[in-house]
């Protein structure tokens, strides 16, 4: 079945620095979705990418979908303490359920 892998598993970032987290699927995805889960919270939808090579920005967050639609990345610039949490990518193996990666857990050093 489809597997979604995320790297790195943990990201320790100095406040103000940039970082990127990567998501790779074993199969081609129709779309990819990104979620953020704060400590003790639940996954919150961030964005969905559908088109090959698509790039979307949300303030300091830049999301990219690979040309082959098998990988994606999330780049955060000028990291802030509010960016702390676990970022999940998820792809649908069919038209409804989502297959989630294990997430990248981000901690920020002030």
Candidates 11, 25, 71, 99; binder of another protein (CB under 8 A) is 99
Three-class secondary structure of residue 83 per DSSP: helix
Candidates 7, 55, 78, 102; binder of another protein (CB under 8 A) is 102
Under the binding rule (CB under 8 A), the answer on residue 39 touching another protein is: no
Instruction: Return the exposure string of 4-28: e unless at least 16 CB atoms fall within 10 Å of the residue's CB, then b.
Output: bebeeeebebeeeeebebbbbbeee
Candidates 11, 85, 101, 108; binder of another protein (CB under 8 A) is 101
Q: How many helices (H) and strands (E) does the chain have?
A: 0, 11
Under the binding rule (CB under 8 A), the answer on residue 48 touching another protein is: yes
Q: Which stretch binds another protein (CB under 8 A): 12-20, 30-38, 58-66, 73-81?
A: 30-38
């Amino acid at each position: 079945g489809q597997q979604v892998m995320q790297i790195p598993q943990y990201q320790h970032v100095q406040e103000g620095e940039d970082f990127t987290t990567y998501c790779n699927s074993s199969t081609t995805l129709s779309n990819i979705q990104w979620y953020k889960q704060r400590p003790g919270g639940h996954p919150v939808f961030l964005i969905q990418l559908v088109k090959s090579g698509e790039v979307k920005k949300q303030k300091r967050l830049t999301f990219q979908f690979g040309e082959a639609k098998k990988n994606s990345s999330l780049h955060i610039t000028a990291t802030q303490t509010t960016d702390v949490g676990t970022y999940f990518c998820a792809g649908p193996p069919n038209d409804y359920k989502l297959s989630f990666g294990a997430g990248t857990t981000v901690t920020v050093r002030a």
